[in-house]
A and B are shown apart, each in its own frame.
Chain A
């Protein structure tokens, strides 16, 4: 039987990262992927003369070579090399302020630029916005300290160096914004990124939001030159170079145990022996259908029940390949958040109400950041929003194709109404990926690429604090967006590294005779 130190199941961002980390540490590592391409959502597909990016909008925490963020540092440490493009502005948002007045603002990258622009849109906001960004910085530094201390953070150090992180960390973003007396309009503009974490501002931990917004504004965002399939493939090739093995179209069907300790994986290509498994799979699916019921600890059942199987970000994306250049179509922004209201709680409710009430989507034109993204005289755009689980759960096959196209028509119409940009008459290729599509390709519950909602008590920091209690199965750790860092490319790449480091520690301890 083939035997490995570590088997990583699923070559999504977290799986690729974990596999590289284990192989770099000298462990004989096998990466198995149920699809015939790596990456999970970090992939691409070809239609006609176009190659389409399915999911990556903006890689966070990457930064330029001379000022790298965590993700660039991790990829550098792995030895993964590829070309990147910077997405210069943060975003344009066309919406309504909470007071109902129209909003159309474009926010630049760079903290000072951002604050200056905010002052233009919301006169008198400078002092508060500056204080907020200072607080963001402290939060980031505090998280870095906690992460580096690997669960042994010294509370004296925390109180001395990161007091404001401690004061604000347990509150929702909305509460902290209010406490800071940030002008409402500035709050409205700053809430734009809420959908990247998939929880509205009243239930989203400030600490999580602060870290993300600061990273985006400070280092701006990046995309690979040739879609995220290039990123995934570059990671696979580096993994091979280091001696790692990868099997495509190899699906884990069941985890195998000896007593209460994992000893292997059953797949369509046969059983594989291993000492450890890092599974890029949602825990509900692992516990629900991939391992013996009697080995599932009570606390894990309670955790699942407490989360109530409520997932974040069940994706719907419509892709359009157009036979005109962005300037011919009047497109000048990389990303435009088209939204009904800056009140994120209200908006989220409307989204979950279904296609009828959903007014939220992100319009993206890849060629603005990367002019060579598609052939000369063409461009590729997409609309991304969330699906409502009941609606997509109820939907019948015979209505499916029409329903997803109707959604695409709605977003085209909204784009035209709000910005004057009209894509109709230029559509050469198109595709719509729905929650069904993401469920099919990624195997994620309800087509959610965000994992469990990082809501209230189950926020990122609370999960980080409980890494010890949350992973009770010996030799098996779920990784990915359902993990401690939540969703997103950067979060899952970091999660893969973090969980692999913990797995390597376990292996070492067991070899030293610990049980």
Chain B
């Protein structure tokens, strides 16, 4: 070490002084500068905030009735532009219903282009036993205000990842993200071919037929095939969406991706059909699956918990409550029913926005909603939106911003 000869050129005795002077040099540089007011904003950060705000305040601008469904056109109260999004993403609405604050997610069915002009559209369909949907259809009027998340979710096209041709499988109100994609293709925002197999019970249940046919007429990259399960009509396919039907309409000599969005029953039916196609996993994408309404029917459910009632001690920041819970409902529902402002967005285990620390007790999580990080599983964090209590619980939930 001591024989290291660095006393060459500029590095000599004076340099030791220079080391000592580093603080002085720095102080001089500081003192030389003007004492300007400091701004806490930066363009990149402002851009990020505009694209991904904590929450959006929206006004119902227009309501379009379509059979058993309604399309709600939403705008910002000041009419300004809304955050851009990727066709296929959804809004999570925060709804005050009967003293509870609940969330529901709805895919945007409008083109991303409309966001720049200041509007979003979502479509809600009547849903027997659907607490929130029925109330929204009954009560929402033009001028009403809503709180929503920014657009989110991963059900969208990505040209680096997906094949140039997508076969879309839509069931019921699962048509909405595909309508947004079709509109984005027509607007030149997305560039891929979409062949849509759209399953409904009857002709009268088909939503957006006029819009879809119109896009298909003017845009060679989009094709739609209506499939009716409960009746036979000319110009319609009859039956369910199956591997055979997919093969019939998929490009014969070209790689393709399958995108799926529909109700829980459709996922279950289609699973073996998709497997039969023999596609690699990268060629199959589905929108997230809603949490089951019958946890006891799931694989691995502890039978002794079925039908029981429990209590949950909920902690949030400095606050604490004890709320009743049923084994048949996700933990989140019990918390919301008690009027607690609990964060949640996707309600399907995917976004992790409700991630909470389970301090005591046990829960059941259906396999298809298990999307937690490794360390979260290891250290006892759960997503209350898709966790069913199987004992009394003590839970620490995150805060909320509105």
Contact = CB atoms under 8 A, between A and B. Distances in A.
Given A159-B16, A405-B158, A270 B1 contact: no
Contacts of B22: 169-170, 457, 459, 461-462, 465
A405 B160 contact: yes
A86 interface: no
A462 B44 contact: no
Contact of A305 (B12, B34, B42, B50): B34
Contact of B160 (A236, A302, A409): A409
Interface stretch (B25-33, B226-234, B385-393): B25-33
A319 B352 CA distance: 19
Contact of A389 (B44, B49, B353, B378): B44
Contacts of A469: 27
A179 B6 contact: yes
A181 B8 contact: yes
A13 to B, nearest CB: 15
B34 A302 contact: yes
A179 B33 contact: no
B16 A166 contact: yes
B11 interface: yes
Given A37-B352, A47-B154, A457-B29, A293 B37 contact: yes
B44 A439 contact: yes
Interface stretch (B127-135, B306-314, B394-402): B394-402
Contact of B374 (A159, A230, A428, A437): A230
B44 A248 contact: no
A134 B4 CA distance: 8
A181 B87 CA distance: 58
Contacts of B44: 314, 389, 392-393, 435-436, 439, 445-447
B40 interface: yes
B160 A430 contact: yes
Contacts of A323: 280-282
A171 B11 contact: yes
B174 to A, nearest CB: 19
Interface string B1-21: 100111111111001101111
Interface in A250-281: 250-251, 267-270
Given A437-B48, A462-B22, A462-B26, A268 B401 contact: yes
B343 A249 contact: yes
A153 B399 CA distance: 46
B108 to A, nearest CB: 15
A420 B353 CA distance: 40
A401 interface: yes
Nearest to A401: B86
B303 interface: no
A233 B375 contact: yes
B116 interface: yes
Contact of A164 (B6, B29, B116): B6
Contact of B379 (A131, A233, A393, A412): A233
A2 B282 contact: no
A226 B375 contact: yes
A392 B373 CA distance: 30
B45 A168 contact: no
B65 interface: no
Contact of B40 (A2, A268, A288): A288
Contacts of A135: 4, 6
A301 B36 contact: yes
Contacts of A145: none
Contacts of A401: 84, 86
A45 B19 CA distance: 44
Interface in A266-310: 267-270, 284-290, 293, 296, 298-306, 309
A237 interface: yes
Contacts of B16: 159, 163, 166-167
A408 B42 contact: no
A466 interface: yes
A435 B45 CA distance: 9
Contacts of B355: 36-37, 248
Interface string B148-184: 0000001000111100000000000000000000000
A343 interface: no
Contacts of A230: 374-375, 378
A447 B49 CA distance: 12
A84 to B, nearest CB: 14
A445 B45 contact: yes
A166 B14 CA distance: 10
Given A397-B84, A430-B161, A462 B18 contact: no
A247 interface: yes
Interface in B346-402: 350, 352-355, 371-376, 378-379, 381, 398-401
B88 to A, nearest CB: 12
B166 to A, nearest CB: 15
B101 to A, nearest CB: 15
B6 A436 contact: no
Contacts of A296: 38
A508 interface: no
B159 to A, nearest CB: 7
A385 interface: no
A175 B50 contact: no
Given A131-B4, A305-B34, A249 B26 contact: no
B6 to A, nearest CB: 5
B318 interface: yes
A433 B10 CA distance: 44
Contacts of A395: 47
B191 to A, nearest CB: 10
Contacts of A131: 4-6
Q: Most chain-A Cβ atoms within 10 A of its Cβ — which of B7, B30, B352, B381?
A: B30
Contact of A179 (B8, B45, B51, B160): B8
Contacts of B371: 46
Nearest to A405: B160
A408 B38 contact: no
Given A175-B10, A428-B281, A466-B26, A46 B399 contact: no
Q: Most chain-A Cβ atoms within 10 A of its Cβ — which of B4, B40, B83, B352?
A: B40
A157 interface: no
Given A237-B379, A469-B27, A303 B374 contact: no
B43 interface: yes
A44 interface: yes
Contacts of B5: 131
Contact of B33 (A229, A268, A305, A424): A305
A155 interface: yes
Contacts of B352: 36-37, 46
A389 B19 CA distance: 33
A400 interface: yes
A180 to B, nearest CB: 6
Nearest to B350: A46
B317 interface: yes
B41 interface: yes
Nearest to B23: A465
A251 B29 contact: no
B70 interface: no
A74 interface: no
Interface string A303-329: 111100100001000000001000000
Nearest to A48: B281
Given A237-B379, A446-B45, A269 B318 contact: yes
Given A247-B399, A462-B26, A2 B318 contact: yes
A267 B20 CA distance: 43
B52 interface: yes
B6 A458 contact: no
B26 A458 contact: yes
8 contacts: A135-B4, A179-B11, A226-B375, A398-B112, A427-B160, A440-B45, A445-B45, A461-B22
8 nearest CB pairs, A to B: A288-B40, A289-B40, A393-B43, A249-B398, A269-B317, A306-B33, A428-B282, A248-B398
